[in-house]
Structure 1
Amino acid sequence: MRKSRLIAGIATALVAASTLAACGSGGGSGADDDTLTFMFRGGDDEKKAYQEAIDRFTEDTGVKVKMIVTSADQYAQKLQAAVAGNKVPDVFYIEQASLQSYVGSGVLMDITDQVAEQGVDLDNIWPYGVDSYRFDGTTQGTPDGKLYGLPKDIGPFAFGYNADMLKEAGVDRPDPDEPLTWDEWLDICKKLTQDTDGDGETDRWGTGLNVQWNSQAFVWSNGGDWTNEDHTQVTVDTPEFAEAIQFIADLTAEGVTPNPEQAQTLDTYQRFMAGEIGFFPVGPWDMSAYNDLDFEYDLMPWPVGKTGEPATWVGSLGIGVSNTTDAPEDAVKLATYLSTDEAAQQTLVDANVQIPNRIDTAKEWAGEVEKDDSLEPKNRQEFLDIAEDYGREMPASFTYGAEWYDELWVGIQPVIDGKQKAADYLAEVQPRMQELLDQSIAQAEQAAAAGSAP
């Protein structure tokens, strides 16, 4: 599963590197002077799709591009090294949670005017994706902020299910429009949890959630949240938040999810792929693997808590331009092309690694399943419903770094193991999270002051 934030400490490293970035004579990472460098992370499918798109870009513009590809786990470290070594790629992936530090340290170019001059119809790009890379010097995500990147994608984090497993258990397919309540969903999970070979050990489970990546949907639909609206106060120590975390933890005691020992033998992602788990999250990046499964899978709304409304997160990666590139016009053209060009987007969509950035193209893509019954998932519309309606940014996406948010997960395992109540743990961790958030706010203020200094 793709992580949506840089490693802890990168903001500090980028600020420390601001003098290098501001004084550097150019971007480049070892490419020829007339060749742009584009750094991104991804697997073989994404690399192949980008190569096809970039070949077309070079053919159309005459601009050569050298791709620098890393794994997801190595990207942050290698980009940090490139920044510190004054070899910032001309065009590169940016994370939502690192945008403010990139801007404050002078690494990212303000591309607002250049994009406007190219006549790009930003109204036809998902607003969440565009606004994620806007920053007005104080607030990230505001429609009035300057544009420091364009979305590589948006990633609506949907909820999926093994349709074959439900059918075998005599369970109807979930309604694509009407979400299940927690209790309704738990009852189905119990029906799916079985010992199919009669050896006394469970070998099929209802679900297999990861609290760090799946709790958001449960917390939000129950009326809880990580912070107040302006991201200055940590609010995890509320009954609504505790109830959601406790519900996830209790799934182990209910027996509907693999216990820690079983999860260590084979993690729940692999068990879903193997047809052993009924309900599991699905991101657009999963489609390239899931579409080759031996069973049919589909999407549904997330189960809902006391608000009665589904909720989940929408991730995003951005494409930014180095503030020190020797070819700013060509670099902005490349970033714009990869983000908004219909042909380039289609190449990535055909690779099953994302949904289209263009809203009109996305709606056509979702409707293709009505013409071709072999396409999966059938309920592609769920991705669009999340993007248009009930998706939210991850709690740390628009703060200056994510250390305060990551603190929640450091000591949560005893809760998952049933050794500590969620409410007790949240009361303990809230002050630590608040202290780290206060530090984050102070760092943001320092970076803003440094960026405005003559």
Structure 2
Amino acid sequence: MMKKKAFAAAGMIAVAALALTGCSEDAAAPEGPTTITFWHGYTEADGDVLATIVDDFNSSQDEYVVETEVKTWAVIDDTLLPALSSDEGPDVVAMPGERLPVYADRGAFVDLTDFYSSPESNTAEVVPQAVDMVTVDGKPYGVPAGFVPLAVFYNKTLFESAGINEFPTTWDEWVDVASTLTVDEDGDGTPEQYGVALPDHATVANGLWPSLFVSGGGEIVVDGTEAVIDSPENAATLEYWTSAVADKKISPTGLDGIGADELFSAGKAAMHVGGPWMASIAEANDIDYAIAAIPAGPAEQAASAIGIAMAVTTQADDAQVKGAEAFFSYFLQKDVAVDWSLGSGWPPLRTDIPVSDVAANPVVVALSEISSTGRALLPGVVNSVDVLTAVDTLTQKSVAGGDIDDLLGTAQSEIQEAVN
């Protein structure tokens, strides 16, 4: 803990010094377009469409020029603070949404409250849960670049072979269907085919179990600072799914996210919870798939949403902040938002874009139709990594037969320490 606190303090001091330096340089700013450096990790089709959007923005006006640098998400996470400390960082950076609060807390990002209050920002129609993802202590420190709820990808061929014509809509129906699709031909207790690949740890974006907790009426953290995982609702959720996996054997125990991907891609699991990338995995393995919302629990139908956020760093001077905000406004224009959605595979970020506008991409259509189930994963939680590690330990040990009450008590203490 001491090392983390020292690192955070050093980061804040360095970034604060950066901000002061930036102010002194404003007066001597050169004439001509203001250059804005932008780090991001989009490397596939999403990177191509983003490059086009950046080029179009640069051509649309003559005040600003956005220059992109492509890095892996891990490299961005590892190098951002050191780069800002030496005045060699980006003016705009994209990163997984759950990491934004870490850097906002360390003073690395600009508060965008005034930007959001402007009608020219194009933020009024942005999906509210996506805005929650970039909000820390009640202030927005970024804009969403992607927000998508986890969904169930299912093998249509296996469903049809079992005579199942409709996808389940409730937990009980989901477990019943998964039981029907679980096949143990030789009766040795180890199915050759599982109804669902349900990881009990290292899950996709660590969002599967948080989805189940919310659907069951529970939470993990509230207001970004209070651990509430030790609740009757979460105990009931753990008991329900532990029984489904360990007793009904609808999924292997001890399964992690990579193992779940492999089971589904090999046709040995009829269902799998994932994000847009599962479409390409299924297609690469010749699986005839469809997409559905995670079935509703006793409290509601909800799914943790994964996302990408863009933020302005405090290295940026006043002109660069204005340019970054101009780019964000452009990115969130309705027509640009449609182009980004179609090209990247993410559902539209705006609530006023009808599904018909993205009909050219069936995956986007399917994910858009279930977008209302999305819930930001641990919004505003600075130390999300340690929180999700505690959840991982809780779920893995629960499915392995541990005492749920004891495990919840331990997780409660660990999570509270993390958010403190």
Task: State the Cα distance separating 1:403 from its structure 2 match.
Answer: 5.1
Question: Which letter does structure 1 place at the counterpart of 2:160?
Answer: K
Are residues 1:224 and 2:215 paired? Answer: no
Give the 5 Å matches for 1:13-32.
Answer: 14-25=11-22
Change (3 A) 1:305 1:331: closer
User: In 1, Cα distance between the equivalents of 2:162 and 2:50?
Assistant: 42
CA contact (8 A) 2:383 2:418 kept: no
Q: Which runs of 5+ in 2 are unaligned?
A: 26-31, 201-205
Change (3 A) 1:296 1:39: same
- Which residue pairs with 2:38 in the alignment? 38
Task: State the Cα distance separating 1:16 from its structure 2 match.
Answer: 4.4
User: In 1, Cα distance between the equivalents of 2:411 and 2:116?
Assistant: 43
Task: State the Cα distance separating 1:254 from its structure 2 match.
Answer: 2.6
- Which residue pairs with 1:64 in the alignment? 65
User: In 1, Cα distance between the equivalents of 2:242 and 2:402?
Assistant: 10
User: In 2, Cα distance between the equivalents of 1:376 and 1:427?
Assistant: 40
Change (3 A) 1:385 1:106: closer
- The SS at the match of 1:244 is helix
User: In 2, Cα distance between the equivalents of 1:221 and 1:333?
Assistant: 38
Question: Which letter does structure 2 place at the counterpart of 1:185?
Answer: W
Give me the TM-score of the superposition, normalised by structure 1: 0.76
Task: State the Cα distance separating 1:58 from its structure 2 match.
Answer: 2.0
Task: State the Cα distance separating 1:192 from its structure 2 match.
Answer: 1.2
Task: State the Cα distance separating 1:92 from its structure 2 match.
Answer: 1.0
Are residues 1:400 and 2:387 paired? Answer: no
Give the 5 Å matches for 1:180-329.
Answer: 180=170, 182-194=171-183, 202-211=191-200, 212-227=206-221, 229-250=222-243, 251-260=245-254, 267-290=259-282, 294-307=286-299, 309-326=300-317, 327-329=320-322
User: In 2, Cα distance between the equivalents of 1:200 and 1:400?
Assistant: 43
CA contact (8 A) 1:13 1:80 kept: no
Task: State the Cα distance separating 1:101 from its structure 2 match.
Answer: 5.2
- The SS at the match of 2:207 is helix
- Which residue pairs with 1:4 in the alignment? none
Change (3 A) 1:69 1:289: farther
Question: Which letter does structure 1 place at the counterpart of 2:231?
Answer: T
Change (3 A) 1:334 1:252: same
- Which residue pairs with 1:125 in the alignment? 126
User: In 2, Cα distance between the equivalents of 1:285 and 1:24?
Assistant: 42
CA contact (8 A) 1:288 1:351 kept: no
CA contact (8 A) 1:215 1:248 kept: no
Task: State the Cα distance separating 1:344 from its structure 2 match.
Answer: 3.3
- The SS at the match of 2:172 is helix
User: In 2, Cα distance between the equivalents of 1:328 and 1:305?
Assistant: 43
User: In 2, Cα distance between the equivalents of 1:20 and 1:254?
Assistant: 59
Question: Which letter does structure 2 place at the counterpart of 1:267?
Answer: G
Counterpart of 1:333 (choices 308, 318, 326) is 326
User: In 2, Cα distance between the equivalents of 1:104 and 1:217?
Assistant: 25
Change (3 A) 1:268 1:122: same
Counterpart of 2:141 (choices 148, 154, 168) is 148
Change (3 A) 1:358 1:428: closer
Q: Which runs of 5+ in 1 are unaligned?
A: 1-7, 440-454
User: In 2, Cα distance between the equivalents of 1:328 and 1:381?
Assistant: 32
CA contact (8 A) 2:144 2:308 kept: yes
- Which residue pairs with 2:340 in the alignment? 348
- Which residue pairs with 2:414 in the alignment? 432
User: In 2, Cα distance between the equivalents of 1:148 and 1:414?
Assistant: 34
Task: State the Cα distance separating 1:322 from its structure 2 match.
Answer: 2.3
Q: Deviations over 1:268-287 (max 9, x none)?
A: 11322333222222324544
- The SS at the match of 1:411 is helix
Task: State the Cα distance separating 1:201 from its structure 2 match.
Answer: 5.9
User: In 2, Cα distance between the equivalents of 1:335 and 1:25?
Assistant: 21
User: In 1, Cα distance between the equivalents of 2:365 and 2:178?
Assistant: 22
- Which residue pairs with 1:81 in the alignment? 82
User: In 2, Cα distance between the equivalents of 1:432 and 1:115?
Assistant: 35
User: In 2, Cα distance between the equivalents of 1:152 and 1:383?
Assistant: 18
Task: State the Cα distance separating 1:154 from its structure 2 match.
Answer: 1.6
User: In 1, Cα distance between the equivalents of 2:35 and 2:321?
Assistant: 12
Q: Deviations over 1:218-244 (max 9, x none)?
A: 2222222223x4454322222321221
CA contact (8 A) 2:115 2:121 kept: no
Query: 249-258 or 407-416: which moved more?
Result: 407-416
Q: How many residues align?
A: 400
- The SS at the match of 1:256 is coil
- The SS at the match of 2:304 is strand
CA contact (8 A) 1:222 1:240 kept: yes
Task: State the Cα distance separating 1:333 from its structure 2 match.
Answer: 1.5
Question: Which letter does structure 1 place at the counterpart of 2:149?
Answer: P
Task: State the Cα distance separating 1:66 from its structure 2 match.
Answer: 2.4
CA contact (8 A) 2:12 2:106 kept: yes
Change (3 A) 1:209 1:344: same
- The SS at the match of 1:108 is coil
- The SS at the match of 1:86 is coil
CA contact (8 A) 1:291 1:376 kept: no
Change (3 A) 1:18 1:99: same
Task: State the Cα distance separating 1:413 from its structure 2 match.
Answer: 6.5
Between the two proteins, what is the percent identity of the paired residues?
Answer: 22
Task: State the Cα distance separating 1:88 from its structure 2 match.
Answer: 2.6
- Which residue pairs with 1:110 in the alignment? 111
Query: 426-435 or 99-108: which moved more?
Result: 99-108
Question: Which letter does structure 1 place at the counterpart of 2:407?
Answer: Y
User: In 2, Cα distance between the equivalents of 1:117 and 1:392?
Assistant: 25
Q: Deviations over 1:13-68 (max 9, x none)?
A: 632433333233389xxxx9953211112332222121121122222224433222
Task: State the Cα distance separating 1:152 from its structure 2 match.
Answer: 1.0
Task: State the Cα distance separating 1:73 from its structure 2 match.
Answer: 2.9
